[in-house]
A and B are shown apart, each in its own frame.
Chain A
């Protein structure tokens, strides 16, 4: 199993939450101090490089107009790491291509990073969470259609090497596609897609890309991975689906003692508890299918929203969205999720968040890398 260090590069030094309506989209950036922000950028980059030294791979993501993730141009951050790291795989998860106007430009950015890193890019693509709609001025309707059309165009741009070709789709048009540089890897960097729904996973499984899912817990993750496996097989890719097609993201904190681990893990819960977003940003019209919207109007709640109301480390471990404790305990917790969902090849460690300071972050990464990661290599498909 591969493990990846992931931080959302948050700016956590905010006024009390009751003084603002939303941590995303509309929180005034007067609350962002660029001098502190500069220190945080350098610190987070250092933590990724430290994680690489310890044998983890590097993962980052992109959000807009939010204090939860001050990385509105993830390819910029990744290009720094492409130069400064030397062996880790570099996962961007991902490019929000339903909201990007020029897929060919995305293909160019990814090809540049792949070349700079001498072929270490893992190119992830996402539809984008609902709160990305307003910052991008992006229509919330038909986003899946845009995402997959954009991806087709990006792959075409990556794999064409004989002069200009064209693409005239429903949403995107390009008449002279001929990118320089082309990707380092052949035929192109591995493709990852994140989704938190079984229907989304079926689309990914059909195409055989790497499927990542975030904080979906025991049963949610099982449903998503089952859907992926079923679509993989239905598409004629064979019965033996390699485990490296599946990735699970959870909050992870390892301590010398259980008490030390819990202290760090408490701070990781910021991932969930800080996400104060009003309904008009969280549920734009058309973002979810009408049938899902109907269930929400009838009272169905997103599992993470329900969890956030009474968030605790114990509850998070029980839900399978957090691994926390001594190395032995963390191995057991990962194993429990792994067995329940049918196995996976990548653990995306949300190993830094909010008020987890640099020294605690580094301690958690080191202990995980030295005491937990080796044991994960013994895991076999259940």
Chain B
């Protein structure tokens, strides 16, 4: 991680890999540089991954309270990464930030991958599109996140104070950013028509947070987006099934069609 200053905001940014530039936006669980998918993806892309304000050890300015605030900061980051268009992989809450960012500056991007993104409201006002994770027991949330939750259950007794601090900060900032309207910006669907880039919406077959109709509905808001379901994985396919995830991602990013 290196710390950079963007628009007056101090930000921790991880960089790795080699190849054309790619911006990676992490989800509510935060960013860790030791996930195997980074090594696999890094064989073909130079990855730039900011730890969003309030996540990891990145400070949280008091004026930030919605994902589009972070997207505005990242407009400056795009210019720093490369002069030309870059690829994007944006996951979950990061998918929301990425969708906001792409709607602001579609010309800065080449191809876009959204992994189980939140950020829009598709269904009826009488039913949550995304279950209320803040009113759900932690064990139930884990089942929604992973196909095999027992492999990924955090054990506080084996975590350092800094790791626990990061986990608590990630949760707190997620609540701050997503609380109301819950997990979506009502304006975003009316801005996504600007995102004419080729886009892929990935969803794990066993994702208990993001439903298949949600992803289908979200993808339809972009003029040139398709969807793909990954088998044997949940809400975090880059962590749970990294090889399949990277294979699918590169096939799209390097594909012709």
By a beta-carbon cutoff of 8 Å, the part of chain A in contact with chain B is 25-26, 133-134, 137, 139-142, 145, 170, 278-281, 284-286, 290, 293-294, 297-298
Contacts and interface: CB of A to CB of B under 8 A. Distances in A.
A147 to B, nearest CB: 15
B8 interface: no
A265 B31 CA distance: 52
Interface in B123-156: 132, 134-138, 156
A180 to B, nearest CB: 31
Contact of B175 (A279, A281, A286, A293): A286
A298 B175 contact: no
B79 interface: no
A285 B175 contact: yes
A280 B165 contact: no
Contacts of A298: 156, 164
B175 A284 contact: yes
B180 interface: yes
A19 B20 CA distance: 58
Q: Which of B156, B169, B175 has the most CB of A within 10 A?
A: B175
A284 B133 CA distance: 10
A285 B164 contact: no
A295 to B, nearest CB: 10
Given A137-B180, A279-B138, A294 B175 contact: no
A286 B180 contact: no
B198 interface: no
B135 A142 contact: no
A294 B180 contact: no
The B interface, classified by DSSP as helix, strand, loop or mixed, is helix
A290 B136 contact: no
Contacts of B137: 278-280
A266 B34 CA distance: 55
Contact of A280 (B134, B156, B161, B173): B134
Contacts of A293: 168
B171 A285 contact: yes
Given A134-B135, A140-B175, 10 more contacts: A133-B134, A142-B62, A278-B137, A279-B137, A280-B134, A280-B138, A284-B175, A285-B134, A297-B168, A298-B156
Contacts, number: 60
A98 B171 CA distance: 20
Contacts of A26: 135
Contacts of B176: 139, 141-142, 286
Nearest to A25: B135
Contacts of A297: 156, 164, 168
B168 A290 contact: yes
B74 to A, nearest CB: 21
B134 A294 contact: no
Nearest to A137: B180
A298 B58 CA distance: 23
Contacts of B165: 290, 294
Contact of A139 (B156, B161, B171, B175): B175
Contacts of A139: 175-176, 179-180
A146 to B, nearest CB: 11
A154 to B, nearest CB: 22
A364 B174 CA distance: 48
A277 to B, nearest CB: 12
A377 to B, nearest CB: 47
A286 B171 contact: yes
A141 B132 CA distance: 16
A141 B135 contact: no
A142 B172 CA distance: 10
22 contacts: A140-B134, A140-B175, A140-B179, A141-B173, A141-B176, A278-B137, A279-B137, A280-B137, A280-B138, A284-B134, A285-B168, A285-B172, A285-B174, A286-B171, A286-B172, A290-B165, A290-B168, A293-B168, A294-B164, A294-B168, A297-B168, A298-B156
B170 to A, nearest CB: 9
Contacts of A286: 171-172, 175-176
A134 to B, nearest CB: 5
A5 B161 CA distance: 44
Nearest to A171: B65
Nearest to A140: B175
Contacts of A137: 179-180
Interface string B56-97: 000000100100000000000000000000000000000000
B199 to A, nearest CB: 31
A142 B173 CA distance: 11
Contacts of A278: 137
Contacts of B169: 290
Contact of A294 (B65, B132, B161, B179): B161
A263 B1 CA distance: 63
Nearest to A21: B137
Contacts of A294: 161, 164-165, 168
Contacts of B179: 137, 139-141
A66 to B, nearest CB: 14
A86 to B, nearest CB: 43
